[in-house]
Amino acid sequence: MTTTLTIAGEHLSSRLLLGTAGYPNQKIMVDAIKASGAALVTVSIRRISLQGHGSDTISLLSGYRFLPNTAGCETARDAILTAQLAREALGTNWIKLEVIGDRETLYPDASELLEATRVLVDEGFVVLPYCSDDPVLCQRLADLGAAAVMPMGSLIGSGMGVANPANLAVICRRASVPVIVDAGIGTASDAVIAMELGASGVLLNTAVAKADDPIAMAHAMRLAVEAGWFACSAGRIPRRLRAEPSSPQLGLVGS
């Protein structure tokens, strides 16, 4: 049994993916990512410095594999252009695809997301789309060639955890590609729940970046994802409405 996560034939040493936004400072960001054990870190192509000026994210995390994202894009066209820029700038064809359809909830736009996925897959990208927890949408994204699907646990940055475990369990059970739960994770127990439902991994940012102690929380998330993965693989005992003793009743003193 291993904690290795395989996406598009590439083996990642951790099932926890971590974002790089919103930390108190860049030193804490670097230390938190190290404590998390994450091998893949997300960066917003619209936010980072690509020219190497000062202590930018790219130079600070040069030993990590980057997953650029199209955060802030609201149309397939904008997302495609952003992905193309990321590939040219960072030398990777991996992309976390976000196409937001509602600014209040930051829900993805399903039709624009499907179109962007179709185009980017045709252009040779390894597409990891952020999507709603809709089993039908996840299946359609996989059918278009997405290398993984990334359904939301709950609203981005909300810390509400897994809001719809029934849907997530269906997605994980049916998926032909890895399922990475993305958005809404607030604490370590949320990550455990996501993994126990059958997820292949968890992507989070705010839960670590905005914690009172980001480095300690990053370490907690590392352990939580591993614990949830092993628990899911091991198989939980069935729930019962009655007690069942773990020791035999025969041979008790006085019987």
Task: Give catalytic residues, as residue numbers.
Answer: 96
CA dihedral 105, 111, 115, 117 (to 10 degrees): 50
Q: Where do runs of H (alpha helix) occur along 6-154?
A: 26-36, 57-60, 76-90, 110-122, 135-143
Beta strand 16-19 pairing with 40-44: parallel
- Asked whether the beta carbons of 70 and 78 are under 8 A apart, the reply is yes
What is the residue-wise DSSP string for 131-198? Answer: E-S-HHHHHHHHHTT-S-BEEBSSSTT-----S-HHHHHHHHHH-SS-BEEES---SHHHHHHHHHTT
Which residue carries 């890895």 as its tokens? 178
